[in-house]
Amino acid sequence: MAIGLIIIGDEILSGRRVDKHFPKVLELLTQRGLQLSWAEYVGDERERITATLKRTLSGSDIVFCTGGIGATPDDHTRQCAAAALGVPLQLHPEAKEKIQERIGDTAREAGITPDFNAPENLHRLKMGEFPQGASIIPNPYNKIPGFSIQNTSGEGAHYFAPGFPVMAWPMFEWVLETKYAHLFHRQAWSEKSVLVFEAAESTLTPMMEAIEAEFPLVKVFSLPHVGDDKTRRHIDLGVKGDPDQVEQAFVKMQNGLNALKAEFHLPS
């Protein structure tokens, strides 16, 4: 299964907040021998969120989605997920219980008796209205859960958490440890590269193509840098994939660079 990430919120696209989810999700996956296949940013626009989820729900990927699951007017993710599935929102009984636990905790901390029927507390229950058939994701920070739904394809699932990193990250980690531990470190992976100075990519391309043709379990990457006051113009050139083939491909790459009389060094 491929793994995807959807980050929802106008505040990210406007620059009001800097996204921290992308690097953290990469970290969580890398620690477990997993890789992120794709990521998308979506603003707080219902039609676009619904269309995005309808498309991704039709696939077989494991998808982490963060942002927009609250109960304020700019939170649309829960409603859009339901619309994408063509099902109604329902107050999840476990979510109701957890939200009321949080209401009780907050009231006791303030030294008052919780009134679960107060208008503001009834409104808080909307945070537990998830698409019909959803399951909850526990939230160790404040007990207000996220939710998960199965993909319409019958394979894969979507996991929804709040936009707050302090909540989303442990929730995503719980999903990985609880649902996908059997996928950890199943595919061996290696990566090696060199810095090639003052060379044109067009000169290196035939060698790169030949390496990928000879080693089908390896991908070649080429990341040009225009240079700055600290380093000359160079290309970060390397191979990644199956460790055994990476070793062989890397030797082939270095031999090819020597044949081209290219200047290259291992990264420091």
Considering the domain architecture, whether residues 169 and 143 belong to the same structural domain is answered as yes
Q: Which of 145, 164, 183 is the C-terminal boundary of a domain?
A: 183
For residues 77 and 45, state if they share a domain: yes
Q: Which residue has the tokens 């160079």?
A: 234
Kindly state whether residues 217 and 249 are assigned to the same domain: yes
Q: Same structural domain for residues 168 and 198? A: no
Question: Model confidence over 171-182: pLDDT tens digits?
Answer: 999 999 999 999
pLDDT of residue 245: 96
The whole-number pLDDT of residue 265 equals 93
Whose tokens are 């609880």? That residue is 178
For strands 263-265 and 135-137, give the pairing.
unpaired
What burial class does residue 27 get, using C-beta atoms within 10 Å of its C-beta: 0-12 exposed, 13-18 middle, 19+ buried? exposed
164 shares a domain with 232: no
Burial 43-74 (b: 16+ CB within 10 A, else e): bbeeeebbebbbebbebebbbbbbbbbbeeee
Residues 128 and 204 in one domain: no
Q: Is the same domain home to 106 and 132? A: yes
Residue 252: phi, psi to the nearest 5? -60, -40
Give yes or no: residues 227 and 250 share one domain.
Answer: yes
Do residues 211 and 152 both lie within one domain? no
Please, what is the Cα angle at 154 between 151 and 158, to 5 degrees? 20
Kindly state whether residues 197 and 167 are assigned to the same domain: no
pLDDT recorded at residue 68: 96
Question: Are 123 and 225 in the same domain?
Answer: no
Q: What is the pTM of this model?
A: 0.87
CA dihedral for 71, 72, 78, 79, sign (positive or negative): positive
Residues of the chain with pLDDT under 70: none
Total structural domains within the chain: 2
Among 99, 94, 159, 104, CA closest to 124: 99
How is residue 127 written in tokens?
């945070």
pLDDT tens profile 30-80? 999 999 999 999 999 999 999 999 999 999 999 999 999 999 999 999 999
> Measuring CA to CA, which residue among 8, 84, 75, 27 is closest to residue 53?
84
End position of a domain, from candidates 136, 166, 183: 183
Domain limit, last residue, from 134, 164, 183: 183
* Domain span holding position 239: 190-265
256 shares a domain with 131: no
Asked whether the beta carbons of 64 and 25 are under 8 A apart, the reply is yes
* CATH code of the domain in which 216 resides: 3.30.70.600
CATH number of the domain enclosing 119: 3.40.980.10
